[in-house]
Amino acid sequence: MELDITVGFEDYFPSMMARLGEEGFIGELCKGFRLLMDGEQGLITFESLKRNSVILGLNDMGDDELVCMLSEGDLDGDGALNQVEFCILMFRLSPGLMVDNSFNSSRQWMEECV
């Protein structure tokens, strides 16, 4: 007997944006960045992501998966995420923020950062 286990993804970012407003939402993303970053470097590094992966519930992820997560958002190729790269990645991972016309200024903010 084979089990069919599927994990659903619910995008909470649009409702958070509606509730907090754009500035409040960006502030929350920045708090998330600070939670995950290496305090000395001011970046999310492999080491800081691995160390803080328990907070995210990712403690069973392998090193290669963590590296892929960093690579996905690393726009300048330095192997780490700065705050802007992190925020852009979070926007890109939220289909609701990218397609909902009520968030045009947020999309514009993200595009300006790129």
Rounded to whole angstroms, how far apart are CA atoms 36 and 11?
20
Q: Tokens 């803080």 identify what position?
A: 52
| pLDDT in the model for residue 114 | 43
| pLDDT in the model for residue 72 | 92
Per residue in 31-52, pLDDT tens? 999 999 999 999 999 999 999 8
Task: Give the amino acid at 25.
Answer: F
Instruction: Give every residue of the chain whose pLDDT is below 70, as ranges.
Output: 1-11, 95-114
Rounded to whole angstroms, how far apart are CA atoms 110 and 107?
5
Per residue in 62-73, pLDDT tens? 999 899 989 999
Using only the alpha carbons of the chain, give its radius of gyration.
Answer: 15
0.85 exceeded by the pTM?
A: no
The domains located in the chain, with CATH, are 23-97 (1.10.238.10)
25: buried, middle or exposed (CB in 10 Å: 19+, 13-18, 0-12)? buried
In the chain, how many H helices and how many E strands? 6, 0
